[in-house]
């Protein structure tokens, strides 16, 4: 007997005989269905007909393969079960039926497999398609997974609230697509297993709280931001007005007015101003994971030469650490997820009038309530408005009767500010995610512009205030420049 013949006689014929049972047939159909779906998906992808949607990955890299394997496993399970049953009943034939298309039972089996496969294919394909479309939406990325709740909350009130998460986090291209898939699958597993973590804290993988920033896997801005924003655009100067309220009874308001020299690429192709200068090639080394300590910066000048600025403590040596080409995200790291400080939050709400500056001591008391410690947002929702009321009841009860509506509105708004910035369950609180724009609340620009970064020729990265902005008014009450400009 040839090997092939032996295989046919001793393995395939018994397998086909025992395999003709509902469990194995179902397994075969599941396997074929998921297999065919995956293969067509891969073919469509190779032909470039699919959007780079990372969440398709959950289906095509996790769910379908799982189904495929389950189906595959069902086939031998069915065979073993049927064999055992027939053995018990003593019904195993001396010779297994021939593989013969004239055999009615066998033909029947094939028909079932075919029909089931077609049905399965349609069902799995449709379900996968609808699931994937849904999973592409920011609603899915941000809200079906509570882990993302801080980022999603900030995103919804950001200028990018209509830009899909995947536009910045994945961008286009096959490589990004695949790594996002793998990463997404890992996160899905971590989130799914999270409730089990207390059972075996060290063994079960889980997500970190808070989700760490920077996102080291984020791609260079030219693949993401720059698909919408042209870095060569010239923005000229930008006026910025900031209001501050004092802690006194009257919540005295002062304003700071500055003109930021944004620049860009001007009509003569000069790279000028904040945007222009950094569009050239600047590399830096950060020595901490948050990219806050930057002792080494190298700039490639327009003539091709390089200037290396090194913090004086290093004595000219190159430090160890992540080496990175500076791009949009090194300043705009909170473009879609701006978490503000408690001071910024209350100042802008008071400037907008959603917290009335006419309430005595509202700045001081509001700030204290915002910074209070609450175990959850639900607790803050009750305690913040109650705290404000209690304050006025004990200090100045007249306010509660004369300005009842304003006190109530202020309490609500304070809670809103809290809920947009503090997420106790993710350990995100005021200041957890620093913003690199500016230098008042966080090091920001001054990570490099601190006049301690010196080049060999003695020049240093500028700290000249007017290189970046002209201060038209600093903490002035009713600055004249604003009335000149017609801004109130
Ligand atoms: C306009 C671009 C943009 C969009 C749109 C966007 N992000 Fe981000 N996201 C960023 C940037 C930039 C960072 C910070 C990267 C860094 O510092 O390395 C970030 C960081 C994050 C982080 C890491 C934790 C943190 O706060 O830094 C998470 C989680 C996140 N984003 C989730 C989302 C989700 C969910 C959505 C959609 C609801 C979304 N992002 C939409 C640009 C974007
Ligand atoms: C899919 C398109 C798209 C992508 C990708 C995108 N943006 Fe934007 N961005 C916009 C639009 C549209 C606006 C204007 C929104 C408005 O004015 O309300 C905007 C506004 C901005 C603003 C001005 C915000 C303000 O306060 O007025 C900044 C800064 C910005 N984007 C930076 C970035 C950065 C950094 C990235 C990459 C991480 C990025 N954008 C990615 C579309 C995009
Ligand atoms: C060196 C830091 C820095 C880098 C790098 C940088 N920006 Fe900016 N950008 C700023 C500052 C500062 C502002 C003004 C901030 C403000 O409005 O409060 C700004 C403002 C903007 C605005 C709003 C412009 C307006 O008229 O209101 C957009 C859009 C923007 N940047 C996009 C980008 C993009 C896209 C990139 C990458 C190609 C980039 N920026 C790189 C610092 C930077
Ligand atoms: C990673 C380091 C780094 C960071 C962060 C950084 N810069 Fe710079 N910046 C440089 C280098 C290097 C130069 C070129 C040296 C110089 O001109 O002093 C430069 C030059 C400039 C100039 C031109 C100065 C001049 O004299 O013409 C401006 C304006 C500027 N930066 C603004 C900013 C602002 C605003 C921020 C924060 C939003 C910022 N930079 C953040 C590295 C940095
Ligand atoms: C490397 C660029 C750079 C330098 C140098 C610089 N600043 Fe700024 N500064 C900024 C940027 C960018 C902002 C706006 C941040 C924002 O968009 O909120 C800012 C904002 C400010 C504000 C308003 C902040 C607020 O939130 O009220 C003040 C005040 C200020 N700078 C003072 C100074 C003074 C004084 C100097 C000189 C010692 C100086 N800055 C040097 C980039 C710079």
| Model pTM score | 0.84
Q: Average the pLDDT over 28-56 and give the result.
A: 75
Is-contact 325 214, C-beta < 8 A? no
Q: Residue 431 domain-assigned? A: no
- pLDDT of 5 reads 72
Selection from 224, 259, 225 nearest residue 242 by Cα: 259
Residue nearest to atom 36 of ligand 2 (CA): 225
Window from 142-151, 169-178, 224-233 with minimum mean pLDDT? 169-178
Q: Residue 224 domain-assigned? A: no
Ligand 1 proximity of 151 Cβ (cutoff 6 Å): yes
How far apart CA 231 and CA 214 sit, in angstroms, is: 22
How far apart CA 221 and CA 217 sit, in angstroms, is: 12
Q: Residue 328 domain-assigned? A: yes
Q: Average the pLDDT over 344-373 and give the result.
A: 97
Is-contact 132 56, C-beta < 8 A? yes
Ligand 1 proximity of 329 Cβ (cutoff 6 Å): yes
Q: Residue 478 domain-assigned? A: yes
Residues 327 and 459 in one domain: yes
**pLDDT for 410-462, tens place per residue?**
999 999 999 999 999 999 999 999 999 999 999 999 999 998 899 999 999 99
Residues 42 and 132 in one domain: yes
Residues 315 and 442 in one domain: yes
Q: How confident is the model at residue 218 (pLDDT cuts 50, 70, 90)?
A: confident
* DSSP tag of 201: T
Q: Average the pLDDT over 216-231 and give the result.
A: 89
pLDDT at 224 over 80: yes
- Structural domain boundaries, residue 476: 236-335+438-485
Which of 108, 136, 164 is a domain's end point? 136
Residues 128 and 171 in one domain: no
For residue 234, which ligand has an atom nearest its CA? 3
Residues 317 and 382 in one domain: no
Residues 98 and 151 in one domain: no
Number of residues that this document lists for the chain: 488
Q: How confident is the model at residue 92 (pLDDT cuts 50, 70, 90)?
A: confident
pLDDT at 342 over 90: yes
Number of compact structural domains in the chain:
4
Residue nearest to atom 39 of ligand 2 (CA): 225
Q: Average the pLDDT over 335-359 and give the result.
A: 97
Q: Give the pocket of ligand 3 (CB within 6 Å).
A: 221, 225-226, 229, 231, 235, 238, 240, 260, 262, 274-275, 278, 327-328, 330-332, 437
Angle at 149 between CA 148 and CA 150, to 5 degrees: 95
Residues 17 and 124 in one domain: yes
pLDDT at 396 over 90: yes
Please indicate whether residue 28 or residue 367 has the higher confidence score (pLDDT): 367
Residue nearest to atom 4 of ligand 5 (CA): 465
Give start and end residues of each alpha helix (H) in 318-472.
342-352, 362-370, 377-395, 397-402, 404-421, 465-468
For residue 214, which ligand has an atom nearest its CA? 1
Which of 85, 112, 136 is a domain's end point? 136
Choosing from 468, 469, 471 the residue with most ligand 4 atoms within 8 A of its CB, the one to mutate for a pocket test is 468
Q: Give the pocket of ligand 5 (CB within 6 Å).
A: 240, 242, 256, 258, 260, 437-440, 445, 449, 463-465, 467-469, 471, 474
Residues 79 and 176 in one domain: no
- pLDDT of 104 reads 74
């Amino acid at each position: 007997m040839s090997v092939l013949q032996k295989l046919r006689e001793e393995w395939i014929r018994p397998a086909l005989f025992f395999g003709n049972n509902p469990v194995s047939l179902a397994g075969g159909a599941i396997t074929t269905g998921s297999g065919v779906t995956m293969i067509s998906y891969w073919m469509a992808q190779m032909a470039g007909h699919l959007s780079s949607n990372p969440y398709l990955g959950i289906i095509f890299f996790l769910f379908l393969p799982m189904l495929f394997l389950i189906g595959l496993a069902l086939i031998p399970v069915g065979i073993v079960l049927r064999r055992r049953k027939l053995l018990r009943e003593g019904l195993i034939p001396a010779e297994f039926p021939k593989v013969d298309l004239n055999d009615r039972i066998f033909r029947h089996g094939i028909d079932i497999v075919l029909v089931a496969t077609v049905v399965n294919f349609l069902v799995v394909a449709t379900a996968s398609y609808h699931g994937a479309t849904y999973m592409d939406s920011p609603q899915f990325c941000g809200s079906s997974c509570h882990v993302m709740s801080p980022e999603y909350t900030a995103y919804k009130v950001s200028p990018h609230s209509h830009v899909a998460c995947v536009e910045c986090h994945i961008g286009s291209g096959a490589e990004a697509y695949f790594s996002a898939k793998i990463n997404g699958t890992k996160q899905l597993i971590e989130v799914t297993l999270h409730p089990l973590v207390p059972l075996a804290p060290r063994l079960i993988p889980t997500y970190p709280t808070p989700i760490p920033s920077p996102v080291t896997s984020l791609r260079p801005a030219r693949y993401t931001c720059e698909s919408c924003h042209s870095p060569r655009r010239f923005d000229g100067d930008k006026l910025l007005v900031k209001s501050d309220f004092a802690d006194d009874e009257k919540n005295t308001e002062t304003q700071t007015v500055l003109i930021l020299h944004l620049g860009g690429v001007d009509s003569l192709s000069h790279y000028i101003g904040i945007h222009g200068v950094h569009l050239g090639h600047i590399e830096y080394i950060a020595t901490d994971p948050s990219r806050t300590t930057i002792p080494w910066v190298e700039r490639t000048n327009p003539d091709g030469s390089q200037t290396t600025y090194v913090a004086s403590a290093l004595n000219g040596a190159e430090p160890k650490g992540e080496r990175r080409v500076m791009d949009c995200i090194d300043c705009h790291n909170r473009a879609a997820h701006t978490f503000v400080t408690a001071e910024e939050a209350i100042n802008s709400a008071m400037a907008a009038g959603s917290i009335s500056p006419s309430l005595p001591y509202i700045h001081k008391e509001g700030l204290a309530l915002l910074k209070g410690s609450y175990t959850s947002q639900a607790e803050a929702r009750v305690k913040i408005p109650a705290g404000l009321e209690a304050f006025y009841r004990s200090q100045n009860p007249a306010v509660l009767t004369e300005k009842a509506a304003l006190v109530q509105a202020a309490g609500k708004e304070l809670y809103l500010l809290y809920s947009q910035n503090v997420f106790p369950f993710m350990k995100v609180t005021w200041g957890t995610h620093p913003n690199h724009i500016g230098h008042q609340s966080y090091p920001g620009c001054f990570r490099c512009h601190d006049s301690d970064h010196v080049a060999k020729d003695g020049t240093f990265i500028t700290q000249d205030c007017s290189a970046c902005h002209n201060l038209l008014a600093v903490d002035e009450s009713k600055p004249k420049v604003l009335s000149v400009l017609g801004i109130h």
